[in-house]
Amino acid sequence: MADGYMGPGIWIRIQHRFGPRMMEWFMAGHMMLFGCILLLPTVTFNQPAWVAFRQLFHSEDLLGWIMFFIGVLRIVGLIINGAKKKVTPQIRQISAGVGCVIWSGISYGFVSSDVVSTWLAIYPLFAVGELVNIHRAAHDEGEIRNGTAAR
């Protein structure tokens, strides 16, 4: 038989795997939406909290497209991972690692602005959340290697 089930089996498997990976879905969606906000016609980088981003990217469209496409790629990876009969936690580990780097970079950009705002309660925690996602995916990989993963 092929790598995945046919018909409703794929949908059932995606639903079953969604719960434990919900944070990964949220982080992918948030990254994609963050990119969309930067792509809006309203200028965001002209605010004082964005001074480091303005210096690094010069164009908020560049950061917007990067975040949007990485978010979309993460969602595609999660769909593929959820639909496959045998999970591939490496996709999840890599995407969470990239997410951790991005959220850490965004946190650093805001720290560099010397503006204290609500970002302090959001983006550093996103970076930590991505570390948790890396750990969960690594745990899944360990279960696969040791033969204890649920099929």
pLDDT in tens, 63-96: 999 999 999 999 988 887 776 666 678 888 899 9
Residue 17 belongs to a domain? no
Residue 122 belongs to a domain? yes
- Which band of pLDDT confidence, cut at 50, 70 and 90, is reported for residue 1? very low
Residue 8 belongs to a domain? no
Residue 6 belongs to a domain? no
Number of structural domains the chain divides into: 1
Residue 15 belongs to a domain? no
Residue 44 belongs to a domain? yes
Q: Counting beta carbons within 10 angstroms of the beta carbon of residue 96, is it exposed (0 to 12), middle (13 to 18) or buried (19 or more)?
A: buried
Residue 74 belongs to a domain? yes
Residue 9 belongs to a domain? no
pLDDT of residue 79: 81
pTM score of the predicted model: 0.79
The residue segments making up the domain with residue 135 are: 23-146
Instruction: Quickly list DSSP for 41-103.
Output: SS--TTSGGGHHHHHHHS-HHHHHHHHHHHHHHHHHHHHHHHHSSS--HHHHHHHHHHHHHHH
Least confident of 42-46, 104-108, 136-140: 136-140
Q: Report the C-alpha gap between 110 and 114 in whole angstroms.
A: 7
